[in-house]
Amino acid sequence: MKESEYRVLFEVEDRHWWYLGHRRLYRLLLDRHCPEEARGRVLDAGCGTGGFTRWFRDTYRPRRLVGLDMEPAALERCRLRGLEELVAGSVEELPFPDASFDLVLSLNVIYHRAVRDDLAALKEAARVLAPGGFLLLNLPALRALRGRHDLAVGGARRYSRSPLWKMLVSAGLRPVKVTYFNTTLLPAALVYRLLTRRTPEEEAVSDLSVPPRTLNRALAGLLSLEARIAAGPGLPLGTSLTALARREDTPEPAH
């Protein structure tokens, strides 16, 4: 991702309606499905500039919280947020022993062109999970939505529900919940992405900018309402695809 995009992300992710709405969905999923003991040792695999990592720390107070990213510019901004246990590394080769964590967070990471093999990244997440541990995953959805934002942030892939479900199973994970999100704004997003699709990569900038306060608050509220549906029966389409999955295998009995 471009250095300029890290600067923008660092400045807006704690205030932007998209991030606030997604945090609401993540919290509903975690509170409903992940018991407290499944939130004790946590890895944010691809933590970016650390906005969500810090939010998770302040919300759940895990015993251990590790932020991993391959970009020094991202980790430096994590330090500015006061995050302490930070590791430089790739999500395709996680530098941790098997069963090191109870929860792995992978939020808008494996779609990136720097990740050569997204299935390998999911298998690595499963490997470092303890038996019964959870993976919380978010990804951009629907190939038709590809546009200049993808170019600016280095996005190489977009996903749909059925293939993602199969990928999770192939990685050794049992899907607990797989749902689309940000459904109401899908038509507007599709039109906007189509109109901006021809932007040259060197000129591409992301869609990240905080709108006026009243509009930002209204959009965050809209996603908060959507989150209740997504965490329950689920949504049929959307700009995002969110999944919670569990490593099912159990440890060998003691002899």
Which tokens sit at 118? 């997204």
Give the pLDDT of residue 9.
86
pLDDT band at 249 (very low <50, low <70, confident <90, very high): confident
64-120 tens-digit pLDDT: 999 999 999 999 999 999 999 999 999 999 999 999 999 999 999 999 999 999 999
pLDDT greater than 70 at residue 254? no
Interatomic CA distance for residues 48 and 15, integer angstroms: 16
Is 218 domain-assigned? yes
Give the pLDDT of residue 4.
74
Is 147 domain-assigned? yes
pLDDT greater than 70 at residue 169? yes
Query: Strand 41-45's sheet: what is its strand order?
Result: 86-88, 64-69, 41-45, 101-107, 129-140, 240-247, 173-181
7-47 tens-digit pLDDT: 888 999 999 999 999 999 999 999 999 999 999 999 999 99
- Here the CATH number for the domain that contains residue 156 is 3.40.50.150
Is 106 domain-assigned? yes
- What is the helix (H) or strand (E) element at residue 70, kind and residue range? none
Is 26 domain-assigned? yes
How many structural domains compose the chain? 1
Is 253 domain-assigned? no
Interatomic CA distance for residues 30 and 78, integer angstroms: 23
Interatomic CA distance for residues 108 and 190, integer angstroms: 19
Which range marks the domain in which residue 60 is found?
3-247
Q: Pairing between strand 129-140 and 240-247?
A: antiparallel
> What is the 3-state composition of the chain as percent helix, strand, coil, each rounded to the nearest 5?
45, 20, 35
Is 69 domain-assigned? yes
Is 252 domain-assigned? no
176-218 tens-digit pLDDT: 999 999 999 999 999 988 877 766 555 556 777 899 999 999 9
Is 166 domain-assigned? yes
Interatomic CA distance for residues 6 and 69, integer angstroms: 12
